[in-house]
Amino acid sequence: MTTTSLKLSDELKQRAAQAAQEIGVSPHAFMIAAIEQAATSAEMRSRFITEARQARSELIESGKGFDADDVHAYLKAKVEGKANGDKVLKPKRKSWRR
């Protein structure tokens, strides 16, 4: 494990110490958790963007996508517990090219 130094403003250091105290951890543990959470968030965002770019490429290449009204109706039915059992089928991909 390596050691890393952080230069924090007095105000930020005090805020971190106060937040750490409120949740019952050391300022060190609080900062480690905060950095871990930020790194995880950045990784998730990166994966999301990669998947979105792949989906866009597939959409453009295939010329097929999902109708928004169909998707909304399906999701509403699913939330209400009606999907898959009450004749509410998953939306099908449709050609969007004319």
* Distance, CA of 21 to CA of 43 (rounded, Å): 28
Q: Along the chain (98 residues), what's the average pLDDT of each consecutive run of 10 residues?
A: 94 97 97 98 98 96 93 89 71 88
Q: What are the boundaries of each domain within the chain?
A: 10-62, 63-98
For residue 86, what pLDDT is reported?
A: 63
Residue type, 78: K
Record the pTM.
0.70
Stretch (H or E) spanning 65 = strand 64-65
φ, ψ (nearest 5 deg) of residue 91: -60, 150
